[in-house]
Chain A
Amino acid sequence: MSTATLNYPIEDAEAASIEIAKHVDKWRDQEGNLIMILHEIQDEHGYVPRQISMELANELDVSLARIYEVITFYQYFKLTPPGRCNIAVCNGTACYLKGAAHILSQLESKLDIKEGETTEDRAFHLETVRCIGCCGMSPSLSIDGKTYGRVRSSDISELLEEASKEKGLR
């Protein structure tokens, strides 16, 4: 789950087409490939750019409508670029009962954004996610795919700092 951003202007159809070929070639002729390809695109860019969806539609000979139906249905796929650092607070039941809401509100006030938003400088994106299965260590959150369990509100500043350092932010 890397969150690299695009390193070329994605409006460029040719670039998008080359970009898409490597994913499509790997999955071509395999059953049920659309969602797997979307996963790869999302893993690479952190979201699914429209131009790439259009190319994908051409390559797979499906309608763009079908691709958007899928992207907008599944919570996992995003249509807008993420932050450079993505914080996901687990919203599973166990975490909820053990104060996930408090952790979230702490993060919201620290980052000055609401859940689902990205900071203006695109440094941080904050969201809640479906249960990540660490219920034994609730409340938990993940930062760029790395899971932290038994998070206490006193840990938050440190977690943010560590993440910033790793990404060279701020």
Chain B
Amino acid sequence: MIQRMINATINGMPVKVPDGTSILDAARSAQLKIPTLCKHPDLLPTAACGLCIVKIAGQGKFPRACATPLEEGMDIVTHDGELTEIRRSVIELIISNHPNACITCGRNQNCELQTLAAEFGIRSDSIKRYVRDIPMDRSNGSIVIDFTKCIKCGRCVQVCQDVQNVSALSFLERGINTRMAPAGDISLAESPCIKCGQCAAHCPTGAIVENDETVAVWEALRDPELFCSAQIAPSVRVALGEEFGYEAGTNLTSKIYAVLRRLGFKAVFDTNFSADLTIMEEASEFAQRFVHGKGALPLITSCCPAWTDYMEKFHHDFVDNFSTAKSPQQMLGVMAKTYFSEKMKIDPAKHFQVSIMPCTAKKYELERTEEMYASGHKDVDIALTTRELARMIKQSGIAFAELPDDEADSILGEYSGAGTIFGVTGGVMEAALRTAYNFVTGENLPKEAIDVTPVRGLEGVKEAEIDVQGTKVRIAVAHGMANVGKVLDRVRAAREAGEETPYHFIEVMACPGGCIGGGGQPYGVTDEIRLKRAQGIYQDDRDCQVRFSHENPEIKSIYKNFLGEPLSERSHQLLHTHYKPRKVYKK
């Protein structure tokens, strides 16, 4: 179908855009930025903030650019004295309902409201401030809600309800008392929240932020008794740079190793290594279930803690389908406190493991079950988000961009290309297929087939059939929780009808785009940025000498020297976990 093009005029300039384009986007294509505090490129317009009003010749009212499609022949003014004055008044009104606490806010210098206030030159509180006093919600260790800072743009609710299908947050009450909170008088911890942090990632102000734990990390680093080690997750390396002026997707692995050492970490590991380890276990599980029929199919990936939490709450009839292999974060933690500590003769009780993750749910995963203490200690002590690490670097005064490259510590630092692509939707599936193929057939995928392209990209659900030497493996990849239901419903329908499962292997990541779009990543993520970060990851994969998890030499040696083989007793003891149904509402 050929898309109809619309011709119109914006501020006297002719524009031509596809039919259905909003005035906001059309103006953007004409290099004009119309201010908005509610419209996010990921989300449908809610028309809440009232800042994007424009004038259309012949219309008396001021339509909202975000929600009004451009029509043929429209003559639009996006900026003039009157519009600026109205916008300034609206910003003043919003500020009058927002605490005057920029200096101590988690979004200081990174806040959309603050930026607009600066741009509009608002210099005084012309309207008396009224902020309803509602205590903060710190009940959930991953994210913190400061209701007073909420400007009711509705992004978090839309993300939580429509993108993630969780509905932990809702629009409650009305008028000046409107608030975004869990349904009824309950805390976030008692709500269905899966800790994905997408609300925080989309919040324009400091109303929802990650639970900042940098102070505890600084304290650990200062403690001479402790041996502090760090791990960095796959997707952190292609996103952290955005905090320091790099283009999105720039791979800064070596610089991050270097900066972690400068911050005082005595050992720096790479979660990519343990991603390879996860693949060894998970691909073995898959081979067992697929080839030998031991265990339920489809096998479903479990390295995303927001997804496992979601499954336990909303889809616990799939508990048996879950891969019991722990996530790379937890695998690295337990290896650091057993294998590495043993080898380096470090008292695991004094070993302090910090993970740098793109994710707020990883904070929750640290204490998810007793198996997260498989080393005899808390396997990972603190999980920091990418944003928290960026703040630590800025506090430390280290000129990040000028740092020389460095390397990770061996035995838990080397990784394959398969490990690095864990950070993007489809990546776990792709990495697992590369190894499972080997486990099933005894051979590696041919070189031209290593890139499993059908599972790449930002399509919400990706399905493919992979030929494993004549046998078809049916796979599905979903990201964004709202996309999972349809995939699982197909499986359920087949199950109820007594038919063969439509899929053998399903990968799920909670956040749109996977971990590159995680709730703990630098702010301002859009599909454009997700694609750039994904490109950075795929480039890292291509640049790797080794592209199969099972060929990572450190992986080989860890099995040889410590674990035995995948799914061995020791592996089970250290590297596997279990899932159980959980109540959606605790209250």
Contacts and interface: CB of A to CB of B under 8 A. Distances in A.
Touch A–B, Cβ below 8 Å: yes
B199 to A, nearest CB: 13
29 contacts: A50-B184, A53-B184, A54-B585, A63-B167, A63-B183, A64-B184, A64-B584, A64-B585, A65-B161, A65-B167, A65-B168, A65-B169, A65-B170, A65-B183, A66-B167, A66-B170, A68-B170, A68-B172, A68-B183, A68-B184, A69-B172, A69-B183, A72-B172, A72-B173, A72-B174, A73-B171, A73-B173, A73-B174, A79-B184
- 5 nearest A-B pairs in the assembled complex, by CB-CB distance: A68-B183, A65-B170, A63-B167, A65-B167, A65-B183
Q: Contact size class for B?
A: 10 to 19
A65 B183 CA distance: 5
A105 B172 CA distance: 30
Given A68-B170, A69-B183, 15 more contacts: A53-B184, A63-B170, A63-B183, A64-B584, A65-B161, A65-B168, A65-B169, A65-B182, A66-B170, A67-B183, A68-B183, A72-B172, A72-B173, A73-B173, A73-B174
Interface in B139-167: 161, 167
Nearest to A63: B167
Interface of A: 50, 53-54, 63-69, 72-73, 79
A68 B180 CA distance: 11
Contacts of A67: 183
Contacts of A53: 184
A50 B183 CA distance: 10
Contacts of A79: 184
Contacts of B167: 63-66
A155 to B, nearest CB: 33
A27 B379 CA distance: 52
Contacts of B171: 69, 73
Query: Which of B167, B168, B173, B584 gathers the greatest number of chain A CB atoms within 10 Å?
Result: B167
Contacts of A69: 170-172, 183
B174 to A, nearest CB: 5
Interface in B263-301: none
A112 B333 CA distance: 62
Contacts of B585: 54, 64
Contacts of B183: 63-65, 67-69
A50 B182 CA distance: 13
A162 to B, nearest CB: 35
Contacts of A64: 167, 183-184, 584-585
A63 B193 CA distance: 13
A76 to B, nearest CB: 12
A67 B168 CA distance: 12
A154 to B, nearest CB: 36
B265 to A, nearest CB: 41
A72 B169 CA distance: 14
Nearest to A58: B584
